[in-house]
Amino acid sequence: MSDLIIENVPLTKEWLADVVEKKIGVKPTIGTSGILDNSELGYMSMIRKVELHFNAEQEENHPNLPKHVVLKIACSAKGSGVIENAGGEVSNSEDAAAVEQFMHNTECDYYQVFAKLADKPLKVPTIYAAAKAGEKEAPVPVIVMEMFEDCKVYDLITGFNEEQLYKIVDELVKLHIFSLTTEKWKEVKRDPTMIAMADMFSMMVKSIADNLAKQPGLEVISTFVRNTFDKDPKFLQTIGDEYLEEKRTSVMTHGDLWAPQILWDKEDNIAGIIDWQITHRGSP
C-alpha cells in the first residue's frame, strides 16, 4: 500500500504525521484523503481534507484533538482556469504557473505571520505548515491548515443579512487594529514573481474588470476602470510603491474577501476566513 496521501503527489503520510506532531505535540495516524465540499468553488489549488486518527490514550491526555487537516497544494492548471473563468487571460502555461506561485507564496507569507502569534487577531485557521516552492519543509508547495468542522458558506447570490454583515465588519475591524498596532506584518515583501510580472498582472486585473463591467448590475465597474487603469496603466504598481514607502497609511488587506472565503459555524458565527493568497498592503 502506498504511503502517499494523494496519488501522484509526493507527500507521504509519515511526513504529514510529523508536521502535525510538531505543531500539537501528538503524532497521529494518517487516514484517507477526500475532496472538500465546494472545493472547486473559488480555489486555485488542489484542496484535500485528510483524516487524523489518535489512540485512546492520546485522546484522553489531549482533549479536542483535530479530526482532519486540509492540504492546499499549488496547481497552475487550476489557476489558469479560474482566471479565465473570471474573465482574465493568461498567455501561456508559464504565466499561469507564475501567477499560482506568486499567490501560493503570498498566502504562505501571511499565514506564517499569523502562525507566529500567541493569539490570533481574527478568525484565521491554525497553520501546521506553509511551504513555498523549493523549501526543505515539503517536497511540493503546500499549506497544511486547520479544517473547520461542520461549517458552511453562503451563496453569493443570496448574500448576507444585516447581522452577518456586522460580524464580517467586526473581523475587518480586528484586522485593522492588528495592522495599525503592530509592525511584523510589514516585513512581508512583495513576491519577486509578482514584481517581475507586474505589467501582466495589471493587464489581467483590467481584463477581469472590463469583463465584469459587462455583466448586468456591475456596470459601475467601468467607472472604476476609467478612473484608474485608463488614467495610469501602472496605477497598481504606483499605489503599491507608495504603501511600501510609507507615503500612504496601510493595513493588511485580504484582497479576495467574498462569500466562499468566509466559513460559518452552526450558530451562524464566523468560524474562519481563508484564502489569503492576494493579501497586500491596502487602504484602511
Specify the residue for cell string 505548515. Answer: 129
For 149-174, the pLDDT digits (tens) are 999 999 888 889 999 999 999 999 99
b/e map 135-163, b = 16+ CB within 10 Å = eeebeebbbbbbbbeeeebbeeeeeeeee
CA distance 180 to 121: 12
Grid cell in block for residue 39: 472545493
pLDDT of 79 reads: 47
What is the C-alpha separation between 4 and 100, in angstroms, rounded?
23
Residues of the chain where predicted confidence (pLDDT) is lower than 50: 40-42, 78-82, 86
Instruction: Report CA torsion sign: 3, 42, 123, 255.
Output: positive
Q: Is 130 helix (H, G, I), strand (E, B) or coil?
A: strand
Structure confidence by residue, pLDDT tens digits, 216-230: 999 999 999 999 999
Please give the DSSP secondary-structure letter assigned to residue 268: S
3-state secondary structure at position 131: strand
CA 118 to chain centre: 21
Query: Which pLDDT belongs to residue 127?
Result: 97
Please give the pLDDT value at position 209. Answer: 93
The label of the residue with cell 489518535 reads: 54
Q: How far apart are CA 150 and CA 90, in angstroms?
A: 36
Contact 7, 45 (CB under 8 A): no
Residue 109 · residue 184 · CB < 8 Å: no
- Cell representation of residue 15: 511526513
Instruction: Tell me which DSSP letter residue 266 carries.
Output: T
Number of domains in the chain: 1
- CA dist 272 and 125 (Å) reads 6
Separation CA 54–CA 261 (nearest Å): 29
Q: What is the pLDDT of residue 1?
A: 58
pTM for this prediction:
0.87
CB 92 within 8 A of CB 174: no
Task: Show the domain range for 208.
Answer: 4-282
Cβ 87 vs Cβ 66: under 8 Å: no
**What DSSP string describes 18-79?**
HHHHHHHS-PPEEEEEEPPTTTTSS-SEEEEEEEEE--HHHHHHSTT--SEEEEEEE-HHHH
Measured distance CA(262)–CA(269) in Å, rounded:
10
The Cα 271–Cα 257 span in angstroms is 15
**Closest to 132 in 3D by CA, of 121, 119, 141, 144:** 141
Q: Which three cell numbers stand for residue 24?
A: 500539537
